[in-house]
Structure 1
Amino acid sequence: MLLAWIVAIPLWLGGGLAHPSFTWIALAMMITPSIAAVVVASLERKLGGFFADVGMWPVRRPWRFIAAMLLGVLIPVFLILQAVFVGSWIGVFPGDLQNFTILKIVSGEGGIGPYLLDQGGLILVAGLINLLPALGEEVGWRGWLWPRLLPLGQLPAILISGVVWGIWHAPLILLGYNYPLADGAWGVVSMCGMCVVVGAFFGWLRTYSQSVWPAALAHAIFNASAGLVSLFMVMGAMIDTQKASILGWSGWILPGILIAVMLSVRAFREPVKPGLSTNRPVRS
């Protein structure tokens, strides 16, 4: 977290989110969790097995890896879109789910279906382009931190990793990033909530595949899909992201139910490492 604040210092010295180098500073911040993980591994004298430790290489379960990579594309889009419908139903998201005015305008004569397919392709391309920056975060969060929290239990791992991830965003959130209407630190609190919910699914991808790459892809696709919500809004409307979209509490309801179900079937449990047995040798 200290590294993130150091990288973000130029934003605080002047310009804030309007700083001309904001994009590059934000990208540099995304690398800091990986740097921290490398430093800790070096101090623990485990740098030699770092790639395997954080799930970068080798691929241990190829078929699960492939399935998780596919889910890494689908899950983030689902998380973002479901928030639109749940928020509209509750009344905190200004959704135009009857006329789809904005969507029809931007689709033009080609129609909504082909336009959304094109957007899906663009999101996939943008996600692949952003995969390495997302990996910079995920090596630290889901690669290094997540497996070390799982022995504490499924729920503690989800909560602690999510809160840590959310607080890490503080240098940007306190400047108004993601939550421009939030007062003081309430934006950071909301970011922690979002990171707990979304991070649970990223953590499951890590556990299921025993690889950090699906979580990194999901992270990249999540960032690339964020703009989808604007297609379903009432034209000219504004949203309070503390309440609406996946950033707000209404967007956490359905994912929270799914997480509760996953917890009940122990979907996040730490996998048994190959070669280990719980059977004790028989002594004669």
Structure 2
Amino acid sequence: MTFSTNAPRTRPAWGAILAFVVLSCAIAWLVALPLWLGDGLAEPISGVLLPVMMFTPAVAALIVTFAMRVPARGGRARFLGLWPLRPARRVVWLMVLAWLAPPVLVALSILLSAALGWVQLDFTFAAFAAEIEKALPPGTPAPPVVAIVVAQLASIPLAALFNSIFAFGEELGWRGWLVPALRPLGTWPALLISGAVWGFWHSPIILLGYNFGRTDITGVLLMIGGCVAWGILLGWLRLRSASVWPAVIAHGSLNAAGGMIVIFAAAKPDLALAGPLGAAGCIVIALVIVVLLITGQFRQQPELADAPGRLLSPPRS
């Protein structure tokens, strides 16, 4: 695929962008409302509502696509990164990278957390075994904890693919629609703004204590920071491949590997520091971004389609 430098530039469709952000957040709050009216994340229905909430960005993207016609008919599949998948070799290679890299980055964030004293590791898995015993009915013998740990770690690649089904609901909105909609602003504004929106969208459950255990604005700010960091990598996959599918798989892989720290921690960790979306994860992601910058990976972008469906050349960052 050639990298055009003469394709037309367009202005962002701000009306559609605003509508997308408002719709995705409003529908997410609507889905999470039963949790707020009940026992929060302890509500039995939370196991259903959280996956449903993941599809609200896709719903918002489809509304602005078909109701506001952004992008215009004829270039929608290309704009959203659904099709065509070419050059096939690059897309497939980036899908494999997206599948395997997030667990490695999460593992590195755990090691960094241990090195910085943010978490103490326990390879006897005593704390993890205690949590398993709490989850079992009284009197039920627990299987050997080592066997459970091995099974958990071995299942991450398969869980990543399963989680990608739900991650698609988010990625069709964030990296499928929003990133290319913002791309006329430049690569970095598109990645940073879309990441911030992604983080803010989590507010209905973050304010209930999800992820960081903080039920105030600090939890939301922590989520925004983590999503901006990971959003740069997922956005890079989107722009580098001109396809949404690598970002979908990377999101699913991150969700599958995100709980690894609970397995290895000697006590309940502070995820604001030691979690994959906390300080340790952001440091690891920042190092990866520096490597991508040094190697020119953010400058190498194939053409995307703009909102009217025309080819849009990579903007100067």
TM-score bin, normalised by smaller chain? 0.7 to 0.9
Residue 68 (1) aligns with residue 68 (2): no
Residue 189 (1) aligns with residue 221 (2): yes
**Between 59-68 and 247-256, the greater mean CA deviation after superposition:** 247-256
* Residue aligning to 1:229: 261
- CA distance, structure 2, for counterparts of residue 172 and residue 276 of structure 1: 38
8 Å contact kept, 2:241–2:302 = no
Q: Alpha-carbon deviations, 1:253-274, whole Å to 9, x = none?
A: 1211221342355423443359
**Between 256-265 and 184-193, the greater mean CA deviation after superposition:** 256-265
1:74 CA displacement: 1.6
The answer for unaligned runs of 5 or more in structure 2 is: 1-24, 130-143
- Local SS of the residue matching 1:242: helix
Residue 19 (1) aligns with residue 43 (2): yes
- CA distance, structure 2, for counterparts of residue 55 and residue 120 of structure 1: 31
CA root-mean-square deviation: 2.5
Q: 1:277 to 1:178 in 2, by over 3 A?
A: closer
Q: Alpha-carbon deviations, 1:138-178, whole Å to 9, x = none?
A: 00001111122233223222221111000000000000000
Residue 8 (1) aligns with residue 32 (2): yes
Residue 52 (1) aligns with residue 78 (2): yes
* Residue aligning to 2:14: none
* Residue aligning to 1:41: 65
Length-normalised TM-score, structure 1:
0.85
* Residue aligning to 2:302: 271
- CA distance, structure 1, for counterparts of residue 263 and residue 271 of structure 2: 16
* Residue aligning to 2:287: 257
**Between 82-91 and 38-47, the greater mean CA deviation after superposition:** 38-47
Q: Which amino acid aligns with 1:13?
A: L
8 Å contact kept, 1:241–1:248 = yes
Q: Which amino acid aligns with 1:11?
A: L
- CA distance, structure 1, for counterparts of residue 75 and residue 62 of structure 2: 11
8 Å contact kept, 1:38–1:47 = no
Q: Which amino acid aligns with 2:224?
A: C
* Residue aligning to 1:92: 118
- CA distance, structure 2, for counterparts of residue 141 and residue 177 of structure 1: 20
- Local SS of the residue matching 1:101: coil
* Residue aligning to 1:177: 210
- Local SS of the residue matching 2:34: helix
- Local SS of the residue matching 1:130: helix
Q: Which amino acid aligns with 1:94?
A: Q
From 169, 184, 201, the equivalent of 1:168 is: 201
- CA distance, structure 1, for counterparts of residue 120 and residue 80 of structure 2: 41
8 Å contact kept, 2:171–2:247 = yes
Residue 127 (1) aligns with residue 160 (2): yes
Q: Alpha-carbon deviations, 1:179-211, whole Å to 9, x = none?
A: 11x251100100011101111111111112211
Q: Alpha-carbon deviations, 1:12-32, whole Å to 9, x = none?
A: 111200111102111111111
**Between 43-52 and 151-160, the greater mean CA deviation after superposition:** 43-52
The answer for unaligned runs of 5 or more in structure 1 is: 279-284
Higher helix proportion (structure 1 or 2) = 1
Q: Which amino acid aligns with 2:242?
A: Q
* Residue aligning to 2:4: none
- CA distance, structure 1, for counterparts of residue 312 and residue 279 of structure 2: 43
1:247 CA displacement: 2.2
- CA distance, structure 2, for counterparts of residue 276 and residue 32 of structure 1: 28
From 106, 109, 115, the equivalent of 2:145 is: 106
Q: 1:276 to 1:80 in 2, by over 3 A?
A: closer
Q: Alpha-carbon deviations, 1:120-144, whole Å to 9, x = none?
A: 5411222222222110100000111
8 Å contact kept, 1:142–1:206 = yes
- CA distance, structure 2, for counterparts of residue 89 and residue 251 of structure 1: 13
Aligned sequence identity (%): 42
1:86 CA displacement: 0.8
- CA distance, structure 1, for counterparts of residue 229 and residue 265 of structure 2: 23
| Superposed structure 1 runs of 4+ greater than 6 Å apart | 274-278
Residue 77 (1) aligns with residue 103 (2): yes
Q: Which amino acid aligns with 2:42?
A: A
